Amino acid sequence: MTNPPPPGGWSDPTWSAQPSSPAPDPTLVAGQPVPTQPGPANPYAPGDPYAPVDPYTPGDPYAGAKMPPGQPVAYGPPGYPPQHPGYGYPAQPKTNGLAIASLVLALVGVTTCGITAPIGAILGHVAQKQIRVSGEGGEGMAKAGIIVGWIITALMVLGIAFYVAAIIFAVTTGNSSGSSSSY
């Protein structure tokens, strides 16, 4: 069989109508026949798996899938144990609500000049006690609420003490307007 020449009268020197070499035989590797590997026999397969099957023969196509009456339905192939309910990631315990509130109030204390920080620290102590009793999660949040809350509370107390000291210093060293005047 010959192919017509390409349009326009040009010819492609790399193209030819005949293949340059015959297609390789898939049953040969490096010129040697590939040995067949015996596989495990399928006990459920019919005698000859390559025998032609007539799709128009009468019969039940679901005959192998039916369970005998009276037997429970088995999910999965037989011989495998059931999957454990804890398989995969372990279930996380519920987080204590007071631990969350403790951390939030302690951190909000930064913007409220420390007013909510002591409340957050106290809630952190209460949350730790509840967590020890109930086994809930959130121990780290409660501890962080305690630490941040007391640090911000201490800074607030130091700030107030500094402010009071500055006022006292200003009052004691300031000029009074009637006692010492010089003309």
Confidence of residue 127 (pLDDT cuts 50, 70, 90): very high
Mean per-residue pLDDT of the chain? 77
Looking at mean pLDDT, say which of 3-7, 40-44, 57-61, 127-131 comes out highest.
127-131
pTM score of the predicted model: 0.48
- Angle in degrees, 0-180, between the axes of helices 117-134 and 97-108, rounded to the nearest 10: 160
* pLDDT, tens digit, 9 for 90 and up, residues 91-118: 788 999 999 999 999 999 999 988 999 9
Tell me the residue type at 129.
K
Q: CA dist 10 to 1, 14, 19, 109, 182, Å?
A: 20, 12, 20, 85, 119
Better-scored residue on pLDDT, 116 or 3:
116
Mean pLDDT calculated for residue range 57-63: 66
Cα separations in angstroms, 41 against 34, 109, 130, 176: 20, 73, 62, 112
pLDDT of residue 174: 82
Predicted local distance difference test score (pLDDT) of residue 167: 96
